[in-house]
């Protein structure tokens, strides 16, 4: 889930509550005077999210994503200069939009009783999507717990959720899944994520 442009600094993915459509974000961009600079259509078959990017000022952007796998939308703020710019825009966005909180995201997988397998898988995907930029033990434990579920679809979703975090602390867990998970698709995905982490230079942080 990458932008067409990659300034050096970025926010975490700010997960939108259901009901906040692209049209709502477009209206906010128009009212705020942002300039649209890029757009990418969704490709569900290739798991490519829809993306629209607005420039607030040169080098400071807000990107909207509609993520097909997690069935969720989010915003990312990026700056070519520093994190302070990002914090300022995040504060303004939080005044205009109701984003999902950490408490809400962390509660999704923990309410697995009564959830279908598909709902639990979506909860893990959204948890990974909305994880902080830096390692967080609560998010780690929830996603790691998902990889131990007896349902291979839930284990698969947990590994997908781990992919979003880009946390090297997951490498030992991913290695165990790659070598030992009885479901071939889960083991294969774990190997693929390890390769992605290698390409990103994410060394073992355990």
Read off the pLDDT of each residue in 181-191 and give the average, rounded to a whole number. Answer: 98
Q: What is the pLDDT of residue 203?
A: 84
CATH number for the domain including 117? 1.25.10
- Work out the burial of residue 165: count CB atoms within 10 Å of its CB; fewer than 13 is exposed, 13-18 middle, 19 or more buried: buried
| Residue 102 φ then ψ, to 5° | -55, -45
pTM: 0.90
Q: What is the pLDDT of residue 1?
A: 44
Query: Which SS3 state, helix, strand or coil, does residue 115 take?
Result: coil
Q: What is the pLDDT of residue 167?
A: 97
Say if 3 falls within a structural domain: no
Contacts of 99 by beta carbon, 8 Å cutoff, 6+ apart: 14, 15, 16, 17, 75, 93
My answer on whether 194 and 108 are in the same domain is yes
Say if 165 falls within a structural domain: yes
pLDDT at 206 over 60: no
Which of residues 67, 96, 125 is at a domain's end?
Answer: 96
Dig out the tokens for 116 from the structure.
């279908």
Instruction: Count the domains in the chain.
Output: 2
Q: What is the pLDDT of residue 113?
A: 62
My answer on whether 110 and 195 are in the same domain is yes
Say if 4 falls within a structural domain: no
Task: For the chain, give the mean pLDDT.
Answer: 92
Dig out the tokens for 149 from the structure.
């579920």
Say if 206 falls within a structural domain: no
Per-residue pLDDT tens for 104-129? 999 977 655 678 899 999 999 999 99
Domain that holds residue 40: 9-96
My answer on whether 34 and 86 are in the same domain is yes
Asked if residues 72 and 108 have their Cβ atoms less than 8 Å apart, the reply is no
**Range scoring the smallest mean pLDDT among 63-67, 116-120, 159-163, 202-206:** 202-206
My answer on whether 56 and 30 are in the same domain is yes
CATH number for the domain including 14? 3.30.530
User: Within 13 Å, how many C-alpha atoms sit on residue 104's CB side?
Assistant: 11
């Amino acid at each position: 889930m990458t932008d067409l442009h990659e300034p050096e600094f970025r926010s975490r993915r700010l997960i939108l509550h259901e009901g906040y459509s692209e049209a709502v974000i477009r209206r906010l961009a128009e009212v705020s005077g942002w300039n649209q600079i890029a757009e990418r259509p969704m490709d569900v078959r290739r798991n490519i999210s829809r993306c629209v990017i607005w420039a607030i000022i040169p080098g400071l952007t807000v990107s909207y994503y509609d993520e097909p796998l997690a069935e969720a939308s989010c915003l990312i703020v990026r700056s070519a200069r520093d994190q302070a710019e990002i914090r300022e825009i995040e504060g303004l966005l939080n005044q205009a939009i109701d984003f999902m909180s950490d408490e809400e995201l962390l509660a999704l997988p923990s309410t697995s009783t009564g959830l279908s397998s598909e709902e639990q898988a979506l909860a893990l995907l959204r948890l990974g999507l909305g994880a902080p930029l830096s390692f967080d033990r609560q998010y780690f434990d929830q996603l790691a717990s998902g990889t131990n579920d007896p349902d291979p679809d839930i284990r698969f979703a947990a590994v997908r959720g781990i992919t979003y975090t880009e946390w090297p602390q997951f490498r030992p867990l991913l290695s165990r899944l790659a070598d030992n998970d009885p479901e071939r698709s889960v083991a294969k995905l774990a190997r693929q994520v390890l390769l992605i982490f290698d390409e990103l230079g994410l060394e073992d942080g355990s």
